[in-house]
Chain A
Amino acid sequence: MTNHEQMWEELGLDVDLHKELIKSIDHTFNQTVGAQNERPASMAYFDRVLHESHGGRVAELIEARKNGKKFVGTFCIYVPDEIAMAADAIPVALCGGTQFSIPYGEKMFPRNICPLVKSTFGMALSKTCPYGPIKDLGVGETTCDAKKKAWDVVNFYVMEVPQKKSDLDLKLWRQAVADFKSRIEELTGMKVTAHRLTQTIDIMNDKRRALQKLNEFRKLDPPPISGLDALVIMQAAFNDEPTRFTEHLTELNNELDDRVKKGISPFKKGTKRIMISGCPSVMGNWKVHSLIEKSDAAIVVDETCTGTRYFSNLVEDGVADLEKQLDALAERYMKIDCACFSPNNERMETIEKIVDDHTVDGVVQYILQYCHGYNVEAIRVARILNKRKIPNIKLETDYSEEDMGQLRTRIDAFLEQL
């Protein structure tokens, strides 16, 4: 990560501790992402996005705020970026993926909640998150219990995400989307108009299209890009300015096109094809992806929020009426099949489809420790996979390195079975 000591100082961060954090992230990055071979040259940009996430990107946000923009921190892919952007706010996803901040999170929060939540709040509590001090609004949502109650503690704005997907729930969600719009308008003093919303819907749809295109490359044998690099791109997607991100992703996609023609890939043809399914792996967390690919398997798709759940389904465009645009947004976001929903039949259908589309040899259900939603839903997922005779394994783990040996044995033994 780059050094911006003066800025961190001014933001009131614990600069020394922050240096340690950066060192620990850099170390993990070099041992995982950086240790790969045959990376596409265009990956350099996305690496830089991660490295600048506490530096250049923050400086950029500070600058934007000086020019009257508002910065909104989000923690879930249900929060519609389009609306925030249409009111001249800049949304950035702020989930934490580092072990470093966990002990600080545990000082306030119970130990037995998921590492993502502990890490996120641990960053704030240890004064190592540069986003906290410049945030104009934190937007939470009523998804899992850990997050839902955490928002209450830190007094964030909370979007109501329903628990089921009936007509009644869709109505409630539609209202939550409208309320969010009002809250953002109040924050920025800007009205969300149909015209502006058309623009931001296009921006986000373009971003999703580029990510979908990347996903297409991963259907090939061998895929021209590693699963770990695809994850880095997703993590960058959560942080970067969307238009710039899409431009660079398009460039990468072009390079991949070229690699396919030339037969360049980090993998040999016939490499075992793994799907990751379950919890997100946010910035700082490369643990399981790296272990799997170090054991000579290729991750060819992520059925997670740092994967297909983020970019599947576009928002219907070409709608000129504001209310109808909000309908279209509510509908698109409601299609996200997070395990917080019950029943969640849609996710089962999605999984079956992805397994076919990506010719998956085996599925790793990736469960962040204490994430009850995905952990319990893993039973159903295993059932449908077993029925189709697709080998699958559930790995429940946190961000720490203490279980690496055991995890590697389980992964290797699983791969030996394929």
Chain B
Amino acid sequence: MDDSGVIDYVITDTGVDPLSNVLKMLKHQEHDNIVATGYGRYLAQMHLQCPIITEIKAYAIGANFLFPDCRTVLDIGGQDSKIIRVRNGKVEDFEMNDKCAAGTGKFLEVMATTLGFTLDEFGNISSRADQAVPISSMCTVFAESEIVSLISSGADRKNISLGLHQSILNRIIALMGRTGFEEPIVFAGGVAKNECIAKLLRSKLKMKILLPPEPQIVGAIGSALVAKQEITSDYTGRKNQKPKGV
């Protein structure tokens, strides 16, 4: 990033060896400073000696940059989902899902595969369903077998998909209830690319939902802003985490 905004970005799977993936990415990217965030932040810190921030903070700062009046960030990624209440880019309160995969991108991914769709098709197809088949299981494992039996009983795959999206939505809304929320809500993370979830969220909450142009890099933008601030001002971040070269 520079003063005009994002110059370039790369999205890649963490894979089984996140560190070499990061190093590969960095090799092709010019950079003045690095701040790491996300689950692998400590790994990055250890090898790159860079400062770290949590994804909670990163999303708050990133969302605030993209939408300065943002009050709530909803982030649904592959691993977990979070709700963050923000004011002027500062975290006021946050909640994360508990340790299981229900209500995360992983859930959608598994279900899409079970139904024979790609992840991209999944949201699209569901938007065209005429009637949702209700899904009762929240657990990824149980929902999977529920779907298998629904398919064999002849239910329409489109309608099952819609049912699944609705069950995720209920889970998300329950999570949001734990912190409370105000509009505008910035919807970020990989799942925000799913048009069906975004649509359902809008109609259910009747609130202003903002979608970033690239929902998967909101946290990266937040970290980049911290990295930028760090070289332009006297920002030192948390102690023991000063950059040592790179």
- Residues of A in contact with B (beta carbons under 8 Å apart): 268, 296, 396, 402-403, 405-406, 408-410, 412-413, 415-417
User: Hey, which chain A residues are within 8 Å of B91, CB to CB?
Assistant: 413, 416-417
User: Hey, which chain B residues are within 8 Å of A412, CB to CB?
Assistant: 54
Bound-state Cα–Cα, A405 to B14, Å: 15
B54–A406 touching, CB < 8 Å: no
B55–A409 touching, CB < 8 Å: yes
A409 and B56 contact, Cβ closer than 8 Å, known pairs A268-B239, A296-B240, A417-B91: yes
A409–B96 touching, CB < 8 Å: yes
Bound-state Cα–Cα, A102 to B11, Å: 40
Give 9 pairs: A residue, B residue, CB < 8 Å, sorted on A. A403-B99, A406-B80, A408-B42, A409-B39, A409-B96, A412-B54, A413-B54, A413-B57, A413-B91
- B94 lies within 8 A of chain A by Cβ: yes
A405–B240 touching, CB < 8 Å: no
A296 and B239 contact, Cβ closer than 8 Å, known pairs A409-B39, A412-B54: yes
- B238 lies within 8 A of chain A by Cβ: yes
Interface residues of A, dominant DSSP:
helix
- Nearest A residue to B90 by beta-carbon distance? A417
A413 and B56 contact, Cβ closer than 8 Å, known pairs A268-B239, A296-B239, A405-B39: yes
Cβ-neighbour of B54 out of A396, A402, A403, A416 (below 8 A): A416
Total A-B contacts with CB atoms under 8 angstroms apart: 32
A402–B99 touching, CB < 8 Å: yes
- B53 lies within 8 A of chain A by Cβ: yes
Bound-state Cα–Cα, A410 to B96, Å: 8
Interface string of B30-52 (1 = CB under 8 A from A): 00000000010010000000000
Interface string of B85-106 (1 = CB under 8 A from A): 0000001001010110000000
User: Hey, which chain B residues are within 8 Å of A409, CB to CB?
Assistant: 39, 54-56, 96
Bound-state Cα–Cα, A410 to B179, Å: 14
B239–A413 touching, CB < 8 Å: no
Bound-state Cα–Cα, A173 to B220, Å: 59
User: Hey, which chain A residues are within 8 Å of B99, CB to CB?
Assistant: 402-403, 406
Q: How large is the interface on B (under 10, 10 to 19, 20 to 34, 35 or more residues)?
A: 10 to 19
Bound-state Cα–Cα, A268 to B240, Å: 11
User: Hey, which chain A residues are within 8 Å of B39, CB to CB?
Assistant: 405, 409
Bound-state Cα–Cα, A416 to B57, Å: 8
User: Hey, which chain B residues are within 8 Å of A402, CB to CB?
Assistant: 99
A416–B240 touching, CB < 8 Å: no
- Nearest A residue to B240 by beta-carbon distance? A296
B80–A413 touching, CB < 8 Å: no
Closest 8 pairs (CB-CB, A-B): A413-B56, A413-B54, A412-B54, A403-B99, A416-B57, A405-B39, A409-B54, A417-B91
Q: Which residues 64-116 of B have a CB within 8 angstroms of A?
A: 80, 91, 94, 96, 98-99
Bound-state Cα–Cα, A26 to B94, Å: 35
Bound-state Cα–Cα, A127 to B136, Å: 41
B56–A406 touching, CB < 8 Å: no
Of listed B57, B80, B98, B99, residue having the most chain A CB within 10 A: B99
Q: What would 15 more interface pairs be, CB under 8 Å, given A402-B99, A406-B99, A416-B238?
A: A296-B239, A396-B98, A403-B99, A406-B96, A408-B42, A409-B55, A409-B96, A410-B96, A413-B56, A413-B57, A413-B91, A413-B94, A416-B57, A416-B91, A417-B91
User: Hey, which chain B residues are within 8 Å of A406, CB to CB?
Assistant: 80, 96, 99
Bound-state Cα–Cα, A402 to B100, Å: 10
CB distance from B210 to the nearest CB of A (A): 22
- Nearest B residue to A402 by beta-carbon distance? B99
Cβ-neighbour of B238 out of A296, A396, A405, A408 (below 8 A): A296
Bound-state Cα–Cα, A282 to B91, Å: 33
CB distance from B52 to the nearest CB of A (A): 8
- Nearest A residue to B84 by beta-carbon distance? A413
- Nearest B residue to A416 by beta-carbon distance? B57
Q: Which residues 217-246 of B have a CB within 8 angstroms of A?
A: 238-240
Bound-state Cα–Cα, A296 to B56, Å: 18
Q: Which residues 153-168 of B have a CB within 8 angstroms of A?
A: none
User: Hey, which chain A residues are within 8 Å of B238, CB to CB?
Assistant: 296, 415-416
User: Hey, which chain B residues are within 8 Å of A405, CB to CB?
Assistant: 39
User: Hey, which chain B residues are within 8 Å of A410, CB to CB?
Assistant: 96
Bound-state Cα–Cα, A405 to B97, Å: 13
User: Hey, which chain B residues are within 8 Å of A396, CB to CB?
Assistant: 98
Bound-state Cα–Cα, A409 to B55, Å: 8
Bound-state Cα–Cα, A286 to B96, Å: 23
Of listed A403, A405, A413, residue having the most chain B CB within 10 A: A413
Bound-state Cα–Cα, A406 to B99, Å: 8
Bound-state Cα–Cα, A150 to B17, Å: 45
CB distance from B98 to the nearest CB of A (A): 8
User: Hey, which chain A residues are within 8 Å of B240, CB to CB?
Assistant: 296
A416–B53 touching, CB < 8 Å: yes
Q: Which residues 133-155 of B have a CB within 8 angstroms of A?
A: none
User: Hey, which chain B residues are within 8 Å of A296, CB to CB?
Assistant: 238-240
Bound-state Cα–Cα, A413 to B98, Å: 16
CB distance from B106 to the nearest CB of A (A): 13
User: Hey, which chain A residues are within 8 Å of B80, CB to CB?
Assistant: 406
CB distance from B91 to the nearest CB of A (A): 5
CB distance from A170 to the nearest CB of B (A): 38
CB distance from B95 to the nearest CB of A (A): 9
User: Hey, which chain B residues are within 8 Å of A403, CB to CB?
Assistant: 99
- Nearest B residue to A409 by beta-carbon distance? B54
